[in-house]
Amino acid sequence: MKASTRISKTQEISKIDRRIYGSFIEHMGRAVYEGIYQPDHETSDENGFRQDVLQLVKELNVPIVRYPGGNFLSGYNWEDGIGPKENRPKRLDLAWRSIETNQVGLHEYMQWAEKSDTEVNMAVNLGTRGIDAARNLVEYCNFEGGTYWSDLRKQNGDEKPFAIKTWCLGNEMDGDWQIGHKTAEEYGRLAEETAKAMKWVDDSIELVVCGSSSSSRPTFVDWELTVLDHTYEYVDYLSLHQYYDNKTDDLAEFLAKSEDMDRFIKSVVAICDTMKAKKRSDKTMMLSFDEWNVWYHSNEETAAQKPWTVAPHILEDIYNFEDALLVGSMLITLLKNSDRVKIACLAQLVNVIAPIMTEEDGTAWKQTIFYPFQQASLYGNGKALNTKIEVATYDTEKIKNVPYLDSIAILNEEKNELVIFSVNKHHSEEIIFTIDTDLELLKVIESTEMADYDIKAVNGPNQEVVVPHNSNSGVTIEGGQIMIKAKPLSWNMTRISLI
Ligand code: AHR
């Protein structure tokens, strides 16, 4: 099969915001305890953080990590996680039927983020709490000193403000599973007033308001319109969440889901722009896709029937090769929409529907989905170029006109490099992908593929089977044309240096 496109240095979608390669740590399952933090683990540092995990987080090159939830957020008192550890209360976490020990709180998380070379995307509880707790938290984190909350931060060991820039106004407030679930009207008003107060404390912060928790929610669209009607002038991003599954074991349908994600993003952009017109506003609302991934292998298991425990084994999906392909396509989708999607968080980072897994008494290891994400985050920087592809399409029962090839080209002017990510979704045919360009091509720096694996192949501790391999012979340059041979069912990365 053939595919073709033309890219030009003058035809850009947008400069890519690095935060598009964000991720997420929630106090749930073994994400925090036995994940990032395990004082009795042999690799743990003086603060109790697992250094094997820190190492993998750094390798993944994650610029921002959302915290502390998730559904957990909506019952969380941030004050429980500050001050001497021995005085911190143990609480019931109603979201995940767990016991929260609060041994990791604000200061510990900030320490971990610094060690991981990542920024924090902090979320405030708008389920059981509200304006007061939120504005106090901003004061505690970002105010220089000389007030009750900022001085308490100093007393608790951090002289300098944390200077957190990106903040979420609650989590999935449209869902009845949420503690303190609200109607769009109730949430819209609360988010509006909370946003105002938070920005009065620190007007340099950026705020993310909750959109729908998926495109299949019955209130999707009405929710966004109502919430934005209240908050448009006070917030900077609207959130989207979406998880996909392959419960029917239909590979073509599963791989088509990045197309569904694309349509979801475009619908939300249209909603935001409708509100912009209604408000006669100069401001363009940006998007934060702050939860996305494949999620189903663990059957959305919660600790429901089990006794209350600390750090139960929940949502520990083991990802296979087809999941890595869809994650690759979802990354391409985010990049194709990078003019509006400025933040995105792969949910989550460690142990809970995550690219990184840990053994309690053993190693930390990389799931299949680790690799496309890592390659995108390491090399997908600069300007996303318009990459409109001519290629055959297929129809599934639910999603029509799905291109067999997904691809995005990125121009990294700092490194004088062109990077191309592509996914071939065809189960048996190679795609010969030709790219014409006005960029002056020098040579192929690197070309890798994840291909030829059983689609159900997985990785495990000390067993990294599904990984990218060199595919140098699969890419050629001639004059102003690049040719990539993308194997059936493959994720491909090509890096080309420019003259
Ligand atoms: O990421 C797991 C859960 O999925 C989060 O807690 C919630 O926000 C979403 O429903």
Name the residue with the closest Cα to ligand 1, atom 2: 70
Atom of ligand 1 nearest to the CA of 348: 1
- Alpha-carbon span 188 to 209, nearest angstrom: 9
pLDDT greater than 70 at residue 86: yes
Atom of ligand 1 nearest to the CA of 291: 1
| Ligand 1 pocket by Cβ (under 6 Å) | 26, 69-71, 171-172, 213, 291, 347-348
In the chain, residues under CATH classification 3.20.20.80 are: 17-379
Atom of ligand 1 nearest to the CA of 73: 6
Name the residue with the closest Cα to ligand 1, atom 9: 70
- Alpha-carbon span 199 to 135, nearest angstrom: 8
Residue 213 alpha carbon to ligand 1 centre in Å: 9
Residue 73 alpha carbon to ligand 1 centre in Å: 10
Residue 489 alpha carbon to ligand 1 centre in Å: 29
Name the residue with the closest Cα to ligand 1, atom 7: 70
- Give the model confidence (pLDDT) of 160-199 as tens digits: 999 999 999 999 999 999 999 999 999 999 999 999 999 9
Give the residue, out of 27, 96, 97, 171, with the most ligand 1 atoms within 8 A of its beta carbon, to mutate for a pocket test: 171
Atom of ligand 1 nearest to the CA of 70: 6
pLDDT band at residue 9 using 50, 70 and 90 as cut-offs: very high
Instruction: Report the mean per-residue pLDDT for the chain.
Output: 97
The whole-number pLDDT of residue 474 equals 86
Atom of ligand 1 nearest to the CA of 96: 6
Name the residue with the closest Cα to ligand 1, atom 6: 70
pLDDT greater than 80 at residue 472: no
Give the H or E element holding residue 255.
helix 251-255
The whole-number pLDDT of residue 102 equals 98
- Give the model confidence (pLDDT) of 281-313 as tens digits: 999 999 999 999 999 998 766 655 678 999 999
Quote the pTM value. Answer: 0.97
Give the residue, out of 289, 291, 294, 297, with the most ligand 1 atoms within 8 A of its beta carbon, to mutate for a pocket test: 291
In the chain, residues under CATH classification 2.60.40.1180 are: 2-9+385-498
The whole-number pLDDT of residue 68 equals 98
Name the residue with the closest Cα to ligand 1, atom 1: 347
- Give the model confidence (pLDDT) of 419-468 as tens digits: 999 999 999 999 999 999 999 999 999 999 999 999 999 999 989 999 99
**Percent of the chain scoring above 90 in pLDDT:** 97
DSSP of 266-300: HHHHHHHHHHHHHTT-SPPPEEEEEEEEE--TTTT
Place of tokens 């039927």: 97
Which CATH architecture does the domain made up of 17-379 adopt? Alpha-Beta Barrel (3.20)
Give the residue, out of 72, 96, 241, 288, with the most ligand 1 atoms within 8 A of its beta carbon, to mutate for a pocket test: 241
pLDDT band at residue 218 using 50, 70 and 90 as cut-offs: very high
Atom of ligand 1 nearest to the CA of 71: 6
The values of phi and psi at residue 426, to 5°, are -75, 135
Residue 352 alpha carbon to ligand 1 centre in Å: 10
Atom of ligand 1 nearest to the CA of 95: 6
Name the residue with the closest Cα to ligand 1, atom 8: 70
Name the residue with the closest Cα to ligand 1, atom 5: 70
Closest CA to 369 of 430, 290, 450: 450
Name the residue with the closest Cα to ligand 1, atom 4: 70
Q: What is the 3-state secondary structure (H, E, C) of 413-472?
A: CCCCEEEEEEEECCCCCCEEEEEEECCCEEEEEEEEEECCCCCCCECECCECCCCCEECH
Give the residue, out of 26, 317, 350, with the most ligand 1 atoms within 8 A of its beta carbon, to mutate for a pocket test: 26
Residue 158 alpha carbon to ligand 1 centre in Å: 30
Q: How many CB atoms lie within 10 A of CB 299?
A: 11
- Alpha-carbon span 381 to 409, nearest angstrom: 10
Q: What's the CATH number of domain 2-9+385-498, 3.40.50.1820, 2.60.40.1180, 3.30.497.10, 3.50.50.60?
A: 2.60.40.1180
The whole-number pLDDT of residue 160 equals 98
Distances (CA, A) of 139 to 82, 152, 302: 14, 10, 35
What the block records as the tokens of 203 is 């007007």
Name the residue with the closest Cα to ligand 1, atom 3: 70
What the block records as the tokens of 409 is 């080209």
pLDDT greater than 70 at residue 41: yes
The values of phi and psi at residue 75, to 5°, are -125, 10
So which residues are the catalytic ones? 172, 291
pLDDT greater than 90 at residue 29: yes
- Give the model confidence (pLDDT) of 320-342 as tens digits: 999 999 999 999 999 999 999 99
CB 234 within 8 A of CB 196: yes
Residue 433 alpha carbon to ligand 1 centre in Å: 37
